[in-house]
C-alpha cells in the first residue's frame, strides 16, 4: 500500500474520530440528570431524531452482512428489502407508533420499554421479564456489529481484527459516557450525512467498474446458481422478485416490521420534542431509509458480478462466506472512496452500538437494579451506574466479537436474526396493542414474550446442532424471527380475551392522554331557548 494512500485513509479516520469525541464532550451539559442522559430531556428536534432512528437501524450488519448475503441470494430483487425498510420500518413505524408513543410514555413518566409495560399493564413482573430479554438478546446483536467492520478494515489497512474492535469500542464508549443521548443524536446526524453521501458514491463507482448500470444488469442476467431453487433459470437474478420470493418476504418482514418492537428504535420516539416534529421526522426518516437501506441492498444485488474474484465454496456460496461479498466488491475502488466506505460503515456501526449500549445500560439500571438490588439510588448514583454498565456492555460485546472471529460461529446475519427475532417478537405486539387497545391484558403480553423468547432459543440451539429438530422453513433465524413477530400479533389478543379485562377506570385514565381538553370562548354570549 502506497504511503500517500495510507496517509489519506488514516487522516480521514482521525478527523472523523476527533469530531465524534468532541461532540461527546460538547453535549455533556445535557447529561447531568437521568432524563437528559437517557432521553435528551425529551427535547430533541425532528432532524436529529430521524437521523438517530435511521443510523440506529442501519449498521455494518446491514451493509456487510445482510446486503452481501441477500444480494447474493436474491439478486437485484434484494432491493425490496430496502424499500420495505423505508415504507414499513420507517414510514409506517413513525405514523403508527410515533405520536402515541411520545404522548403515552410522557403521561406514564416512562423512560424505557420495560417501564412502559410495567406502568401500562400494572405488572412490575413484566418490567423484569422485558429487562432480562433485552439484556440477553442485545448482546449477540451488539457483538455482530464489529464483524462486518473488521472485514473492511482488513481490506483497507490489513490490520488485526482485535485492533478494529478495540478502537471502535473505546471511541463509542467515550462519547456515550460523556454526552449521553444528546451526544449520540448529534453524532448520529453527522454519521447519517456521511452514510447518505457515501452510499450514492459507492454505488456509482462499483457499477461504473462493471461498465455502468445497464451493463451490470446484463451481466447479472447471465448469472446462475444451480445450488438454489430456480437458480439456473436465465435472468432470475435480475428479475422482479428473484429466485425465492417467499424467503425474500420473510427478510422484508424481519428487517422492516422488527423495528416496531426493538427498544433502541422505539426509544427514539420517547425523546422527540413535539407532535409537529413527529410529522417532519416521519418524512426525513423515510427518505433516509430509502436512500441508505435501498442503496445497500441494491448494491448487494450485483454481488454475483464479482463471483470470479470471490471464488466459490461448497454449495455455490462465495468463498469466505457471504460477509466477504461487499468487501470484495469494494476492493477496486480508489483510496479516497475506500476511506469513505470505511467511515460510512464505521458511522453506521458506532451509531447503532451507541444506541444499543445506552438502551441496555438504562434498562438494567432503571428497571432491574433501582429499587430492587439497590434500594436507595439517587440521581447521581443512577448516572454513575449507567456509565459503568455502558463500559461493561461494550467490553462484553467486544470480547464476544473477538471470540466469534476465532471460532466457527455463524454469519453476521444469523446472529442479528436471533436477536431481532427474539426482541421484536417479544415486544412488538404487546407494545402496539398497549398503545391502541384498552382490552390488552398482562397475560397476553406474557404469552407473546415467552413464546418468542423460547422459540428463538430453540431455533438457535437447532442451528448450533445442540438440538435435533426439523423446523423446516423456520430453521432459518430470519424466517423464525419474522414468524414470531406475526405470531405475537395473534397471541396477544387471543390470550387477552381469555382473561378478565383490565380495570376500566384505570385504563381510561391511561388513555386520557390522547384526548386533550381545550377550553374556548363561546361565539354567542346570549343563550337562546328552544
Q: Are 446 and 464 in contact (CB under 8 A)?
A: no
Higher pLDDT, 139 or 449: 449
Handedness of CA 56, 61, 67, 69 (dihedral sign): negative
Q: How far is Cα 454 from Cα 442, in angstroms, rounded to an integer?
A: 18
Note whether residue 196 is domain-resident.
yes
Residue 137 φ then ψ, to 5°:
-90, -10
Q: How crowded is the C-beta side of 498, counted as CA atoms within 13 Å?
A: 10
Query: What cell does 10 get?
Result: 488514516
Q: Read out DSSP for 364-430?
A: IIIIIIBTTTBS---HHHHHHHHHHHHHHHHHHHHHHHHHHHTS----HHHHHHHHHHHHHHHHHHH
Residue 117 clears pLDDT 50, i.e. is over it: yes
pLDDT at position 349: 80
pLDDT at position 356: 85
Of 4-18, 382-396, 460-474, which one has max mean pLDDT? 382-396
The CATH number of the domain where 180 resides is what? Answer: 1.20.1730.10
pLDDT at position 413: 47
For residue 362, the 8-state DSSP code is H
Note whether residue 434 is domain-resident.
no
Write out pLDDT tens, residues 125-136.
999 999 999 888
Which residue, 113, 86, 69, is CA-closest to 476?
Answer: 69
Burial of 471 (0-12, 13-18, 19+ CB in 10 A): middle
Write out pLDDT tens, residues 33-62.
888 888 887 778 889 999 989 888 887 778
- The Cα-based distances of 114 to 105, 120, 121, 530 in angstroms read 11, 10, 11, 55
pLDDT at position 255: 86
Note whether residue 524 is domain-resident.
no
Residue 428 clears pLDDT 80, i.e. is over it: yes
Q: Reduced to 3 states, what is the DSSP secondary structure of residue 353?
A: helix
Range of the domain at 155: 3-408
Note whether residue 213 is domain-resident.
yes
Write out pLDDT tens, residues 325-363.
888 888 878 888 888 888 888 888 888 888 888 888 888
Query: Which helix H or strand E contains 53, and what residues bound it?
Result: helix 46-57
Note whether residue 509 is domain-resident.
no
For residue 62, the 8-state DSSP code is I
Note whether residue 479 is domain-resident.
no
Note whether residue 341 is domain-resident.
yes
Write out pLDDT tens, residues 457-503.
898 888 878 888 888 888 888 788 889 999 999 999 999 999 999 99
Domain count, the chain: 1
State the angle between helix axes of 379-405 and 124-157 in degrees (0 to 180), rounded to the nearest 10: 50
Write out pLDDT tens, residues 165-218.
888 889 889 989 998 889 888 988 998 898 898 899 999 999 998 889 899 988
pLDDT at position 510: 94
Note whether residue 466 is domain-resident.
no
Query: What cell does 392 get?
Result: 461493561
- The Cα-based distances of 305 to 72, 210, 216, 402, 463 in angstroms read 10, 8, 7, 31, 30
Amino acid at each position: 500500500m502506497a504511503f500517500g494512500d495510507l496517509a489519506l485513509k488514516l487522516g480521514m479516520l482521525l478527523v472523523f474520530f476527533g469530531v465524534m469525541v468532541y461532540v461527546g464532550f460538547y453535549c455533556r451539559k445535557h447529561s447531568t440528570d437521568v432524563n437528559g442522559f437517557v432521553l435528551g430531556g425529551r427535547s430533541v428536534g425532528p432532524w436529529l431524531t430521524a437521523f438517530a432512528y435511521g443510523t440506529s437501524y442501519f449498521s455494518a450488519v446491514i451493509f456487510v452482512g445482510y446486503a452481501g448475503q441477500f444480494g447474493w441470494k436474491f439478486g437485484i430483487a434484494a432491493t425490496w428489502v430496502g424499500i420495505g425498510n423505508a415504507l414499513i420500518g420507517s414510514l409506517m413505524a413513525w405514523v403508527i407508533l410515533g405520536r402515541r408513543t411520545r404522548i403515552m410514555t410522557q403521561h406514564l413518566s416512562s423512560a424505557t420499554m420495560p417501564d412502559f409495560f410495567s406502568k401500562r399493564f400494572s405488572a412490575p413482573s413484566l418490567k423484569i421479564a422485558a429487562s432480562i430479554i433485552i439484556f440477553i438478546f442485545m448482546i449477540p446483536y451488539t457483538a455482530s456489529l464489529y464483524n462486518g467492520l473488521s472485514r473492511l478494515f482488513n481490506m483497507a489497512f490489513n490490520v488485526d481484527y482485535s485492533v478494529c474492535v478495540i478502537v471502535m469500542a473505546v471511541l463509542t464508549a467515550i462519547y456515550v459516557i460523556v454526552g449521553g443521548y444528546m451526544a449520540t443524536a448529534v453524532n448520529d446526524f453527522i454519521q447519517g450525512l456521511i452514510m447518505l453521501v457515501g452510499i450514492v458514491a459507492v454505488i456509482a463507482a462499483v457499477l461504473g467498474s462493471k461498465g455502468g448500470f445497464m451493463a451490470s444488469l446484463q451481466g447479472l442476467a447471465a448469472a446462475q446458481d444451480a445450488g438454489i431453487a430456480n437458480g439456473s433459470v436465465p435472468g432470475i437474478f435480475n428479475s422482479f422478485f428473484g429466485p425465492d420470493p417467499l424467503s425474500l418476504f420473510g427478510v422484508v418482514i424481519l428487517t422492516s416490521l422488527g423495528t416496531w418492537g426493538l427498544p433502541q428504535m422505539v426509544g427514539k420516539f420517547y425523546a422527540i420534542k413535539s407532535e409537529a416534529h413527529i410529522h417532519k421526522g416521519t418524512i426525513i426518516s423515510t427518505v433516509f431509509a430509502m436512500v441508505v437501506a435501498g442503496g445497500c441492498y441494491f448494491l448487494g444485488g450485483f454481488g454475483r458480478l464479482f463471483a470470479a474474484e470471490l471464488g466459490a465454496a461448497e454449495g455455490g456460496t462465495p468463498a469466505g462466506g457471504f460477509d466477504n461479498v461487499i468487501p470484495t466488491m469494494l476492493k477496486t475502488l480508489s483510496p479516497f472512496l475506500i476511506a469513505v466506505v470505511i467511515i460510512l460503515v464505521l458511522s453506521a456501526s458506532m451509531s447503532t452500538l451507541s444506541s444499543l449500549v445506552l438502551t441496555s445500560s438504562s434498562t438494567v439500571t432503571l428497571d432491574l437494579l433501582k429499587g430492587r438490588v439497590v434500594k436507595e439510588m439517587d440521581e447521581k448514583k443512577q448516572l454513575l451506574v449507567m456509565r459503568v454498565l455502558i463500559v461493561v456492555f461494550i467490553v462484553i460485546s467486544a470480547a464476544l466479537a473477538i471470540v466469534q472471529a476465532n471460532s466457527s460461529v455463524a454469519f453476521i446475519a444469523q446472529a442479528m436474526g436471533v436477536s431481532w427475532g427474539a426482541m421484536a417478537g417479544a415486544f412488538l405486539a404487546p407494545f402496539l396493542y398497549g398503545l391502541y387497545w384498552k382490552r390488552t391484558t398482562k397475560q397476553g403480553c406474557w404469552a407473546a414474550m415467552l413464546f418468542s423468547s423460547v422459540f428463538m432459543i430453540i431455533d438457535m440451539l437447532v442451528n448450533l446442532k445442540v438440538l435435533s429438530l426439523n423446523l423446516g422453513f423456520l430453521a432459518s433465524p430470519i424466517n423464525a424471527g419474522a414468524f414470531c413477530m406475526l405470531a405475537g400479533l395473534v397471541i396477544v389478543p387471543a390470550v387477552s380475551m381469555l382473561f378478565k379485562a383490565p380495570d376500566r377506570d384505570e385504563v381510561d385514565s391511561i388513555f386520557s392522554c390522547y384526548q386533550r381538553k381545550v377550553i374556548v370562548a363561546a361565539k354567542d354570549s346570549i343563550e337562546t331557548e328552544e
